[in-house]
Amino acid sequence: MWEKIEIENWKNVPFTSGRSATEKDVEEGRAVFHITSGSEPYEMELPLFAIQIDSEKNTRIPCIVIQMENCSEGTAVGVRYLDGGNGVGMANEFEFYNSVPEELSL
């Protein structure tokens, strides 16, 4: 379910937007996490291309945002990585783009 994503197909990745994700969304690959109560969707058109920044490791990891929700800790972001797999982070760990950033352009 969390297979590799071809960069030219990033806009076709399933996502959850306009509502909080359900367990079924996670099971079916439209979301990475499910918060049982107290979250609200973050109003953003998805999917988004993003770069996840790890300042401790000095890495920039390309990913696709498939979910954003406001919760008590801030804005949680669910992503799928281009190389496969998924992850969760807070919005301040990402740079967001409406298209593939120049550093990764085809």
106 in a domain, yes or no? Answer: no
57 in a domain, yes or no? Answer: yes
What are 21-35's pLDDT values in tens digits?
999 999 999 999 999
DSSP letters for 55-103 = TTTTEEEEEEEEEEEEETTEEEEEEEETTS-EEEEEGGGEEEESS--GG
| pLDDT value of residue 106 | 52
| pLDDT value of residue 104 | 79
The CATH number covering residue 45 comes to: 2.30.30.140
What is the domain count for the chain? 1
What's the predicted TM-score (pTM) here?
0.92
Q: Collapse the DSSP code of 49 into the 3-class scheme (helix H, G, I; strand E, B; otherwise coil) and give the result.
A: strand
- Give the structural domain span for 43: 7-99
Distance CA 43, CA 81 (A): 22
Distance CA 84, CA 102 (A): 21
1 in a domain, yes or no? Answer: no
95 in a domain, yes or no? Answer: yes
Query: Amino acid letter at 15?
Result: F
